[in-house]
Structure 1
Amino acid sequence: MKAKIILQYAIGPIGAAALSSITLPFIAWFFSTEDVGRLTMLQVVVGLSVSLFSLAMHQSYVREYHEEKDKEALLKLSIIPGLVLLTSFTVFFSIAPFSISNILFGIESTILSCLLFVCVYSAFFINFLAHAIRMQERGLAFSATQITPKALLLLFISLIMLLSLAAEFKTLMLMNTLSVFLSFLVFSWLTRKTWIIAIDKTVNIILLKKMLAYSLPLVMGGMAYWGLTAMDRFFIRSLSGFQELGVYALAASLAGAVSVLTSIFSSLWHPTLYRWVKEGVDKNKIQCVIESMVLVVTLVWSLIGMFSFLIPLVLPKEYFAIEYLIIACVAMPLFYLLSETTGVGIGISRRSTFSMLASLIALLINAILNYLLIPIYGASGAALASVIAFFVFFTVKTEASALVWVSLPRFKIYVILIGYIGAAFTVVLTKSSINQFYLVWCGLAIISSLLFKERLWSSVSYIVFKVKGNK
């Protein structure tokens, strides 16, 4: 893929991560840790809603995109089942005798409940429209949709000072809802030529059944993955309260900035992979991608380990624990990123049940470890539980891919990752109290480079060649 196209896809995630790095500390300074915890519950519920109500049909859309000629009809088929289900649930919660805002946020408010529904519907449609843009390989448009919600949220939060608004959760909820809804409008405008045509398309029942057969096994996997990433928030809220939840959530959110790599890579990888599948897959090309991603993951983890002490300098003193929590929290997006390459055989063979199995096993382990560790270690226990659970998730996907497709070399990958897990555990349990521990992170990066020296050398040579060629 050309460097220009890669850059177009990279602008959005990088810009979104940069804006998040400004927005999150800003929120931490103006709002209480309890309100930051409530914001986390909002994000968790919106994520659950997208995972549940989409019925994983966006993944069927991606899988069938290069196989079907009528792209607009394909988009319509992917949206309809989930929209019907979401509307049914909305009606139920609207007439229910209990307050959903009280259950989630500990605040009785009809306004908060309405804002929640607006967020959920907006996120639901954004999920599908974003995949449409990505599969059309419109890099700049895709990047714009990533930057827009972050930029809008930062803008709205800035109004606190300008308009002297009350720094309370209702204000924070309103700002978040406005940013998501306006982002949905931007997505709608950018994809108007697709969804307007899609409205009049007839429903192909045969294709719909085929898509559901692929996606429904992924729903359970998606729900399990949501639980894997969000369960710790519920345990912390229950066992430690909103204050510690706020600290942990901010650490996880900052670590989630690493997801910029996942976003860029997924935007490029899935269309490319399934194009390779159609043309005939070369396993050596897959192995090159896997080894390259191992080097990226280990380098990023080492850099965060060495420089995490800088993060508390820009946050209120209540967030000092983020220095060591983030080292464990960053394992979640990194393991997921790596599993996108090592688990390719699952998508190639259409054996989506193995993705569900990986999520379910990791979910069970995460639940047990959260229950055991949080009462003892608090947020640190939740972070450690997530490291183990995501490593299990990565391992199951990797081994399943080897089982159903091609068994690629992976022993060296496990060796270096176990080393990083050990270092992360040491930092969290000692609360970053060991002097000169940065030497361990440097050592791990060197070991990783030596284990994959051929791939590192070829990558560096390729980059040098490209740089010289552009002069």
Structure 2
Amino acid sequence: MDNKSKIKLFIENFVVYGMGGAISSAIPVIMIPVITRLMPNSSYIGISDMATAIISIGNAFALMGMYDSMYRLFFENDSKEYKREICSTSLAFTFLTSIIVAVIMIIFKKPITALMLEGKNGFLVYICALTVFVGATNSIVSAPIRMQNRRKIYLVLNTLCPLISYSISIPLILNGHYVIALPLATLISNVIIESSFLLINREWFQTKKVNIKHLPLLLKLSIPQIPNLLVYWVFNSCDRIMILNLLGMNEAGIYGISAKLGHVSQLIYTAFIGGWQYFSFSVMKDKNQVETNSKIFEYLGVISYVATGMLCVFVKFFFRVLFPSEYMNGAVAAPYLFLSPLLLMMFQVNAYQFLIKLKSWPNMLILGTGALVNIILNKLLIPILGIEGAAISTVIGYLFSVVLCSTALYKIKLFNIHGKFVFVSAAFILFFVIWRLFGFNSVLVSFIELVVFGIVVLLCYYREIKKIMKMVLRE
């Protein structure tokens, strides 16, 4: 496949599959200001955030990395019979693990409530357990649509899910059901969407097609990913739990809103990873695959830096306009939390190099080390800097993982890096430090910084930008 075809394939998958996922993520972002004004105070946002954290850890155990394993092996053989067996076996296994995890969550309701809900509202654990059962299997039954390039269906269903959720949650909030509104709406919308996916993809999931002989290879790829999923949970939820226990539910709620605004970048991440997964496996056997992967990593890094710089300029304005004054203290943490998913995106670009080689344990080790750094820094910085300390810890943990993964791949010749990217990265770090010291309270200083940094990027990547624009415009 030539470079032009690769770019076309990547853009198509980015726009269709990626943006389909991004739309479903964009709707909650748009609804954040509405929800914060409907809720009596930030503690209810904190409760909802903790419920999400409970669900995400349950999903990690229930799914056990089976989604990525199924996706990887689906492209290993062109036989439709083989593909059906892989899909059916993956769903059967995930169905069983989901039941087990949901039951365990209910059994341990009291300690979960004590750790993550301040010992209150234990009934939320039941809702979370059911959501885990539905959510884990939902990931599996939705996959064939993407793997078959059924674009319109994917876009429609991913848009409907959050729309259904908020059409349920807002009436509940208006009627005073603040605690259960968002978790219950998530459960109901997941049930509706999973039923739709299962109906559409029913030919790929048949009991008679379950073939245990595929399970050892599926598990060989998936089991080493379980720690990865747990590490992702640590990055996303450990800071919230520590804030809850050190600063209280109100601060956890403010941090949650800061994370949600910061996670506007999650739209970029979701859009990218939705297209990247198909693209990376489609071109994995190309001779110049390493160079292609390295360039994508580099370009995404530059885009991430520029996007974060733009948020730094306007973050206080956004908070002032969108949220009640109670949440204003979260503005300082938002740029860190905006950058974090983008660093995760960069990590995953390189991490797929190991998965393509049918090795997932290096990713576990590298990301686990970053998570450990995150936890240590959380313990040190949250008591001193509050929610900003948690945000700093998260971004440093991800950055550590990116550097470690890139270094490991470079040494085994699965990654290349150019000096100008290192220079731009250093320039961005300098930009961020100056912004925090002098630009946070001055839009003018932040804007001047951004212009200077933008000039540096243009000077370093003028040829690449010009070349890519020409190729895209010709299409």
Counterpart CA distance in 1 for 2:198 and 2:51 is 23
1:446 aligns with 2:455: yes
Instruction: Kindly report which structure 2 residues correspond to 1:306-455, keeping only aligned pairs within 5 A, or say none.
Output: 306-312=313-319, 313-428=321-436, 432-434=440-442, 435-455=444-464
1:53-452 correspondence runs (5 A) = 53-68=62-77, 69=79, 70-95=82-107, 98=110, 100-101=112-113, 103-106=115-118, 108-109=120-121, 111-160=123-172, 164-195=174-205, 198-205=206-213, 207-312=214-319, 313-428=321-436, 432-434=440-442, 435-452=444-461
Cα deviation, residue 27, structure 1: 1.3
d(CA) in 2 for partners of 1:251 and 1:29? Answer: 15
Change (3 A) 1:135 1:212: same
| Secondary structure, aligned partner of 1:409 | coil
Mapped partners of 1:464, 1:171: distance in 2 = 46
- Distance in structure 1 (CA, Å) of the matches to 2:400 and 2:27: 32
Residue of structure 2 in register with 1:469 after alignment: none
**Aligned-residue CA RMSD in angstroms?**
2.5
CA distance in structure 2 between the partners assigned to 1:109 and 1:38 by the alignment? 9
Q: Distance in 2 between matches of 1:183 and 1:404?
A: 43
* Unmatched 5+ stretches in structure 1: 467-471
Equivalent pair of 2:61/2:101 in contact (CA under 8 Å): no
**Deviation by residue 1:358-388 (Cα, 9 ceiling, x = unmatched):** 2111111001100000001100100111111
Q: Which amino acid aligns with 2:180?
A: K
The range that moved more, 244-253 or 45-54, is 45-54
Query: 2:351 and 2:366 mapped to 1: Cα distance?
Result: 10
For the 8 Å contact 1:220–1:356, the answer to whether it is kept is: yes
1:325, 1:428 within 8 Å by CA — same for their partners in 2? no
> Compared with structure 1, are the counterparts of its residues 422 and 365 closer, same or farther at alpha carbon in structure 2 (3 Å cutoff)?
farther
Structure 1 stretch displaced more, 253-262 or 12-21: 12-21
Deviations 1:50-69 (A, max 9, x none): 22221111111121111133
* 67-76 vs 412-421, which moves further: 412-421
**Mean Cα deviation higher: 55-64 or 256-265:** 256-265
In the TM superposition, what is the alpha-carbon distance from 1:17 to its structure 2 partner? 3.9
- Kindly indicate whether the alpha-carbon contact (under 8 Å) linking 1:61 and 1:75 is maintained by their aligned counterparts in 2: yes
Task: Confirm or deny: 8 A CA contact 2:62 2:133 kept in the other structure.
Answer: no
Distance, in Å, in 1 between the alignment partners of 2:126 and 2:119 is 13
- The residue matched to 2:396 in structure 1 has which SS? helix
Distance 1:79 1:429, change over 3 A: farther
CA distance in 2, matches of 1:116, 1:97: 10
Match status 1:25 vs 2:33: yes
Residue in 2 that maps onto 1:47: 56
Measured after TM superposition, the shift of residue 430 of structure 1 is 6.3
- Aligned 8 A contact 1:56 1:219 in 2: yes
Q: Tell me the percent identity.
A: 18
Displacement of 1:167 in angstroms is 4.7
Inter-CA distance 112–6: structure 2 relative to 1 (3 Å threshold): closer
Deviations, residues 439-462 of structure 1 (Å, cap 9, x unaligned): 212222322232222211211222
**TM-score normalized by structure 1?**
0.90
Relative to 1, partners in 2 of residues 1:202 and 1:342: Cα closer, same or farther, differing over 3 Å? closer
**CA distance change for structure 1 residues 462 and 24 in 2, over 3 Å: closer, same or farther?**
same
Tell me the distance in 1 between the aligned counterparts of 2:351 and 2:105: 38
Cα deviation code 1:264-315 (max 9, x no counterpart) = 2222222222222245444333343233323322232222222223311111
- Structure 2 vs 1, CA of residues 310 and 462 (structure 1 numbering), >3 Å: closer, same or farther? farther
CA contact (8 A) 1:345 1:405 kept: no
CA distance in 1, matches of 2:231, 2:195: 30
Select between 150-159 and 234-243 the one with higher mean Cα deviation.
150-159
Contact 1:346 1:404 in 2 (8 A): no
What is the alpha-carbon distance in structure 1 between the residues aligned to residue 155 and residue 391 of structure 2?
A: 30
Distance in 2 (CA, whole Å) between partners of 1:380 and 1:222 is 24
Contact preservation (8 Å) 1:55, 1:81: no
What is the total number of aligned residue pairs between the two structures? 461
What whole-Å deviation, never above 9, does each CA across 1:330-359 have from its counterpart, x for those lacking one? 111111122233444222322311110121
Structure 1 residues 241 and 108, CA, compared in 2 at 3 Å: closer, same or farther? closer
- Pick the aligned partner of 2:467 from 450, 458, 464: 458
Shift of 1:101: 4.2
